[in-house]
Structure 1
Amino acid sequence: MYRLIFSIVLIAFITSLGSAQDLGSSNKLFGKDAPKKDAPRKSVSKNSNTRKTATRKVKKPISPDRTAAAKISVTKKAPVKASSAKLSPEQTAKLKADAADALKAGDLSAAETKYREVVKNTPEDAEAKLALSGILATPVPVMDLADRYEEAMDLAKSVTEKEPSNAAAFERLGVAREMLGLVGPETENAYRTAVRLAPDNAVNYAYLARLLRRNGNTAGAAEMDASAATRARGAAQIADIAAILQSEQRYPAAERLLIAAVQSEPKNARALRLLGISRVANGEVADGIANLKASLAADMSNFDTYSSLASAYLRTSDLANAENILLRGSRFAHNYEKPVLARQLEQLGDAYSRAGKGDEARRSYKLALTYQPERETVLAKLK
């Protein structure tokens, strides 16, 4: 029922969930927060529990931590009911393990299908419900995006009702509500409940900080930022916090955290990738490229890293390297990532065209169509 509203806000919302306001003097923990090349600033008005539309468009240097930023093939699901042919406990355990492996590999579509099967057969499985909620709350440009967010919210809420001490459920509930544009007291209460139930989980504080900053409470946000930073343990958790900061385009703050993460775990592929993204966004392009290359050395199968590195090369007009990276990364692009690959190949073709290299431009455009044959902008350029 929210589809019409979210068709307007989709592009801007994927780019940034929260305000791009720097912490500045309100958060001395992170220090001065002015990037060398600022991303465009956005202002977000205070909101209650009503859904809002937005008209702003934001150009982002490189996508932040993006599990998926392209269309995935999904269908609207009916309310979950127990299956007549119920899985055995062993079958359920294997299906959950396979779903977790698919999610870790970045195959959201496969993970969603498997988690749906688990939930259909065992509706009381809170772990599977929350995993599915997390997948559905991932921003992807599909027509039923609002329906997916609402389903994510309903799944998380059902767990909070049956397990009122489940901190992860309240975190998922807060995230899903925020994705729906519900940023009022009920969403804040969900995050605060998660903090209360799991006071040592740094990520909950980071989510709450984002919401408070979005609602104009910079002092409260700074306090939560400090709590998140002091409680963060290990590169993986620091990367989670940095991804939240990047969703607000707060790249300098993210960079400072990620430097510490990489120092503690020099081969953590995700931390290296996020650090590279932050550095490129902050104008430290050479250092960012080095971090992205290091991330690929640690994990050569993550399409996001190839995509981010190609964007960095395009930013510096290093077209040959951009093309090479896109070709290498194409082997690891899942179906829902192929439109992203097509878009970048189109950008590469545009860059070749501006450089007067018509043959190379046409080659890039034709290659883009192999990944998204219906891409009208490319078809028009090949006429």
Structure 2
Amino acid sequence: MRLASIPGKKRRARRKEKARRLAVGAPPGTLEADPQAAPTVISVVAVGGGESLRQTGVTVAAALALREAWPLVWIDCSGLADIEAIRAIGAAFGLHPLALEDVLDTAQRPKCEVQADHAFVVMRMLDREGGSEQLSLFFGEGFVLTFQERRGDSFEPVRQRIAKGAPRLLAGHADYLAYALIDAVIDAYFPVVDAQIARIEQLEDDILAGVDGDQVHDLHGLRRELLGLKRWLRPTRDALGVILRLDRPWLRAETRVYFTDVQDHADQLIDTNETYRDTASGLIDLHMTLSAAKTSEVINLLTIISTIFIPLGFLAGLWGMNFNPEISEWNMPLTQHPYGYPIALAFMVALALGLLVYFRKRRWI
């Protein structure tokens, strides 16, 4: 699915969500890469004791070697083409094969699964161009793992905070780093939602101003995008609730406050989403009502014109009958009168004006 995050830009074609790629009946835990998956690039950030180390494009062995020297290691895999690298990382950290299968099957619903020594969180991550991808995040004592479909993510602010020496991030606690990453993903929704709000408000102004355009089509597209966000945000909020209820030694009590704040942000996004989805529906109804009112005005005008010309046409047809007035004085009166034609026209005009006055008094015009 694509979300147009910049007002005024042409919306991209909607990205269709795909079903599971594994063949029916495949054994549970089967790891199979998407043929179109991006190449895997492994990056690692090691922190602890107020210091940090960042490396990009490293091997699995090099990334795993840092675990021996640093209290906390964050390994990020951008691109899911290298099955062996993903399997090796999973084996090193004791990840369940079913969890790795979910990492590669990028049509997962946002969720949180808890094991004895780590938690597994799935989210939808938005990018600046309005696209989305699946983020799979694992965190436990001394490690955070992230798996993304492609390069480019919402984590750069977190990396910059680490590079600038943010004390909490450099303390070496996996739960706080996991919070910071999840918070960055949630924060990336706000610009997209703000852009959708701006587009809805612009469409509202256009509809009320009577600007010609395909506003209904645009509003339907926005409703579809808002519904897509709702499908992601609600289970994301539920996943955060699972984290808040965790009773594990690697999730400290002081970090729960931060996860509560992230959940509040998710609730705020959901409330805003529902409000403006209802607004979009209301604007569609308003547009239909205004269009019907315009059509009614046109039909009313045409009806009035027809009503005026029906008696005039009757009179013109009546006087147009070819009865010879020389045979009887009752045949076609006024046809022999020197002012017959002006009298007939004056009578027709008076009749039309009388009808207009009557319609005006009845407030039909």
TM-based fold match above 0.5 = no
Instruction: State the TM bucket, normalised to the shorter chain.
Output: under 0.3
**TM-score in terms of structure 1 length:** 0.22
Q: Which has the bigger relative contact order, CA under 8 A and spacing at least 6?
A: 1
**TM-score in terms of structure 2 length:** 0.23
Structure showing greater Rg: 2
